[in-house]
Structure 1
């Protein structure tokens, strides 16, 4: 139930005056003449009128008042946002090399009576070549992920379960991908269905820089002058695409396969003219690979030990091994937007012009606070001119003078407001108000479903190309209401942006923008610390259950920078890695008669692994830092496992008797062995 808003303007002038007159005897015995001719009563009448006027004003807080308050606390209502979608194009051979230009118009037919306008984001060269083979080569072996790449229900790990330097993802094309294009755009879809969303902290932007990189290379076919037998494992046969900062450089929009994006590869000067046959296949392919490599120079070193307990920190490490849904060609992104007028393919880059109208007439008058409106909304961008003279957009007229040619644009409603002659100039009469460079779009209407039919609106691509949406459009939202912005501002007051307490440090660390976090532990060195004492924040990233949750150098550096940005001036704070203690568990059990031994063994091993999990173990929120593993707890855990009759013996040992920093220590289950005793006289011990 909400709080009742009081009615402040609930008293009339006579009530204020009578209340003041009745209080005179309380404050003065000598004031006996309370008639209207008395000068004191005249003052009371004045004060009663002022009080009534103030109550009237206090009870009428408009949206403009709230917007002004929001600007004072640095909160702006969110404007309408555009929906975006990813679409794939099937390119016939006769259109190999066709170009989807930036801002190319498309239409999304939601239904026969509902059409939404979209446009392409960026320039895309189309190729008839498709990804025909996907091979992952890593230190654990080699896997053919072609079927997974072609299936919408499957995914694959690009560099295996434990990525290391020189692991590679090989992509084979049956036809020459550079036959008609100067750039090959590979759309890489990251599978994040089972992952937490990247953290956010207000409106801040993350600064995560991976401590490793993916080097994109192409295979060079042997020439007549060089008759060496070429093969996929011969690194001398692989040449890197240009990765310098230039127009012909590789553009990696995936942040080294940390997220979905486009990898744009420039055509190399020595691109092979003939394909090669690899990996025991029967068909030759043109080959491209992404090879995992260390950054040059190496990234920053974490302030703790490596995950294996050594002092050397690996520069090539993923918190979450890259898991991909698909690698495709001919995929580009579209956004919900349209121009002011219908344009053909020859005038896409020309500025659009709209004449605004006023309620009551088409031109300006000499009146203050004039309003003009677009014929549709929302408005994303527009430049306003009055009588051919450009005017400047401002959020409000609070800082505008009488001669300032300012206007306020309400993008959600498409309304342009001018000043009153005191705050903001009044346009000269009989002037046309013109909007140029107009772009419309945004709002919830752009979130079209995946079943929508797409097509280009003009050109060769309009009739001969099939467009397949890779999901529904998302991200479109209507303009945020003033009430919603006020609620967000109120909520933000409870969000820690300055680290004072341990809870503040933990919150700021786990909300480092762009990172998928697991846990954090703040260590101050004592309960009553002095301001100069060092503060350590132990960082545990989110990782799948089969991966040890250890931060890479880039991950740790991003958290460290975010903490320092929000720390007090006198605080010395450092993000550090956890110390993992390898633990081995051996257990001898007897199972209930009639149960399957192998199933009970797996159930017991799974129970132990889940119990000791650094992120999900113990009571469900991760193993406590510095807490030892007690044998009695393993006994109890196994006894509660279904199908276990008796736990005969349990042994818990750390590798080589490791003695680690207890403040940052977490168990890492190296091995768990469960033996099922079949003979009743077998006690499980050897003497």
Structure 2
């Protein structure tokens, strides 16, 4: 039963006019002409008309009431989020250039602030992986076999007797991910290259910043680990960093020395971030020994490089995990790297004086204040008896006592609120208040494209962002906050039902999410078995330039959603945030076009309709929410969608095929409950139907070997 809307006054125009006329004998007995032609009656009818309009507005709940509900429920508007980007710096100064923390970089008029101190050197790096492969067959690949035999002949006798394993040397190329989990040695090799202006004598003891950008595991959702839980920080895997030395060989192999890590935001190379590494203080511990070219890559010898890179080689670094586990996939490894965000840090400022009244409110100089997991990120002090005492930021005053030095912060508006004297101390008359240290700014404008950040407020430094900035979002609009009230009251800050997980995940701050789905009792590693207490949330990004038909979230987006849901889930819930799993589908349509309609136009419209009908993201799909998880792809359903196009007289045929991993299987495509459609091929023809996705169609072999001939151009 729907809740009835309260009617405070339901009188109509006719009732109001009759009531006014009935009062005439009471207040003015001499007024006897009550006909409509009387001017007095006209005025009464005008008053009745105006009163009816006022009562209509009186019965409506105005927006101000909703705003008051927000204030009473203490539901503030969500503040803006700051975009972040990795900055790769370059310089030609032989001694390097120190770039302090909070240095400004610019993308046009947008300002980004560095988060990590970095010394930029005239250096670059090339990440190298030794990818395991099978032994070369002398008959199939005689050149590779001869290369391997030449390496074996060059090895000392002691090394040649060891068990053999073969590999291919792969270089990490920008925008092409490389899986270091397939290496033969479990290592990441980094070739340090000299650029113009390098003075190698200044490198001993130098600190270099290495930037890593991780990618999703190659295995998809089956390789996703559960969210660790709010407040629980798992110990990162221990890394061993080493540098190649020019010391004499030990057991016929080169020697390495260990390096110390100064800082690491990658948590043991498990996520994107910056790792600060100190080079050896002795020059010979970071140098290139004389190595036989035939031994390149054998055993502990560093792998071979192309000639253009080998000419600039300064030294080798390598890293591996002490427990023997392998690394994941990375799509970027750079040097002279720092993280930057679209934000500024506030300088010290005076807020005002206390007046001894309850619930005192002061406004910060800058807003919106960027949210921070550390509630002490903003420093606020009150001068009490000549001493500046620090106050602690809290989410509410429910646990505060009379003497608790607490304050609340509305991050979106930048308002600071003190307690009422019973819950939270209130500043007394004349006590001065000051603050500093908080971050402000943000907004969706900070999500700039790659290479957009190209200026640095520091001489001798050039900056670039090799990847787009991500995570920026504007402050929540008032309309969105008003519609959020019912959900907030229902959830009360906790994710319990499937809808709770979907709605909270979609509201992840700074995450550009197009769609979320919740799979209760679903464990990604065992999808066919129901797992009690396990919840998996599937996330689609708003856009994916590399996979527009099948958008995939990156590792940073999944991690942001995971951290956000951790603050709302029950402690007994095992939570996974996973990417979508797509089933490839191909469609072939043969149609008959009505007379008078253009064949090409109708074909394009039918193709567009079917693409939108099978699309995974809103506002497309059968119900405008994207193709539902696990819904089968049924030919007659697609026929009904195609027949809605004006100009289609009838369909000759419509065939559907699904990819099972080895071949295209025609007929209805049945999806698992965690799968969604990826339309990989669609053919629309006027006439006889074609097999979907070219199934069973092979090119005709020409007679003899086709050879190109030069084209002779005639000169005028």
Tell me what 2:36 maps to.
Answer: none
Name which of 272, 275, 281 aligns with 2:286.
272
Distance (whole Å) between structure 2 residues aligned to residue 446 and residue 538 of structure 1: 30
Taking a change above 3 Å as real, the CA distance of residues 144 and 482 of structure 1, as seen in their structure-2 partners, is same
Deviation at 1:377, TM superposition (A): 1.5
Distance 1:374 1:85 in 2: 27
Aligned-partner SS, 1:138: strand
- 1:122 aligned residue: 116
**1:94 alignment partner, SS class:** coil
TM-score (structure 1 length as normaliser): 0.51
Paired residue for 1:174?
193
- Alignment of 1:185 with 2:209, yes or no, is yes
Aligned to 2:336: 330
- Residues 613 and 622 in structure 1, CA contact (< 8 A), matched pair in contact too: no
Shift in alpha-carbon separation, 1:186–1:58, aligned structure 2, 3 A: closer
Alignment of 1:610-625 (within 5 A): 611-613=659-661
1:157 and 2:178 are equivalent in the alignment: yes
Matches of residues 24-63 of structure 1 in structure 2 within 5 Å? 61=65, 63=67
Please list the CA deviations of residues 236-255 of structure 1 after superposition, one character each: whole Å capped at 9, or x if unmatched.
4253635xxxxx34866546
Q: 1:219 aligns with which of 244, 248, 262?
A: 244
| Aligned-pair Cα RMSD in Å | 6.0
What is the CA–CA distance in structure 1 between the aligned matches of 2:672 and 2:476, rounded to whole Å? 41
The C-alpha deviation readout for 1:453-504, integer Å capped at 9, x for no partner, is: 54443xxxx12111112244332334446764675675586896489xxx9x
Shift in alpha-carbon separation, 1:239–1:617, aligned structure 2, 3 A: farther
Change (3 A) 1:201 1:620: farther
What secondary structure sits across from 1:80 in the alignment? coil
Q: Identify the match of residue 364 of structure 2 among 366, 371, 374.
A: 374
Q: How far did 1:139 drift?
A: 3.1
Alpha-carbon distance in 2 for matches of 1:450, 1:540 = 27
Query: Aligned residue for 1:99?
Result: 98
Q: Does the 8 Å contact 1:353/1:435 carry over to 2?
A: yes
Paired with 1:122 and 1:485, the residues of 2 have a C-alpha distance of 35
Q: Indicate conservation of the 8 Å contact 1:337/1:440, yes or no.
A: yes
Question: Helix, strand or coil: the match of 2:94?
Answer: helix
Question: How does 1:216-365 map onto structure 2 within 5 Å?
Answer: 216-223=241-248, 228=252, 236-237=253-254, 239=256, 241-242=258-259, 248-249=260-261, 253-254=265-266, 259-268=271-280, 271-275=285-289, 278=296, 279=304, 282=307, 283=310, 285-288=313-316, 290=318, 295=323, 322-324=329-331, 326-340=332-346, 352-357=347-352, 363-365=353-355
* CA distance in 1 between partners of 2:201 and 2:496 (Å): 49
Match of 1:649 in 2: none
- Measure the CA separation in 1 of the matches of 2:533 and 2:420: 55
Looking at structure 2, the residues matched to 77 and 473 of structure 1 have their Cα atoms a distance apart, in angstroms, of 24
Equivalent pair of 1:293/1:316 in contact (CA under 8 Å): yes
Query: In the aligned structure 1, how far is the partner of 2:402 from the partner of 2:168?
Result: 72
Q: Secondary structure at the match of 2:528?
A: strand
CA–CA distance in 2 between the matches of 1:489 and 1:519? Answer: 37
| 3-state SS of 2:88 partner | strand
SS state at 1:440 partner = strand
Whole-angstrom CA distance in 2 between matches of 1:155 and 1:101: 31
Q: Distance in 2 between matches of 1:256 and 1:615?
A: 40
CA distance in 2, matches of 1:612, 1:441: 49
Residue-by-residue CA offset, 1:590-638 (whole Å, 9 max, x unaligned): xxxxxxxxxxxxxxxxxxx97333999996676799xxxxxxxxxxxx9
SS at structure 2 position matched to 1:130: strand
Q: 1:541/1:440 Cα in 2 relative to 1: closer, same or farther (>3 Å)?
A: closer
Contact 2:519 2:535 in 1 (8 A): no
Match of 1:412 in 2: 412
**CA displacement at 1:89 relative to structure 2:** 0.9
Offset, 1:412: 1.9
Q: Is the 8 A contact 2:130 2:185 kept in 1?
A: no
Q: Please name the residue that 1:80 is paired with.
A: 80
Deviation at 1:106, TM superposition (A): 0.4
**Structure 1 pair 409–227 and aligned structure 2 pair: CA distance change class (3 A):** closer
8 Å Cα contact 1:520/1:540 also seen in 2: no
Quickly say closer, same or farther: Cα 1:338–1:418, change in 2 above 3 A. Answer: same
Instruction: Name the counterpart of 1:606.
Output: none
CA contact (8 A) 2:246 2:255 kept: no
State the match for 1:383 in structure 2.
Answer: 380
CA distance in 2, matches of 1:373, 1:63: 19
The answer on whether the counterparts of 2:83 and 2:442 sit within 8 Å (CA) in structure 1 is: yes
Could you say which residue in structure 2 is the equivalent of 1:432? 432
Tell me the CA shift for residue 378 of structure 1.
2.1
CA contact (8 A) 2:273 2:339 kept: no
Match of 1:522 among 529, 550, 569: 529
| Superposition map of 1:456-471 within 5 A | 456-457=456-457, 462-471=458-467
Q: In structure 2, do the counterparts of structure 1 residues 10 and 137 end up closer, same or farther at CA, with 3 Å as the change threshold? A: same
Deviation at 1:145, TM superposition (A): 4.4
Cα offset, 1:90, TM superposition: 0.8
SS of residue in 2 equivalent to 1:88: strand
1:436 Cα shift?
A: 3.6
Q: CA separation in 1, counterparts of 2:663 and 2:520?
A: 18
Give 1:385 shift. 1.7
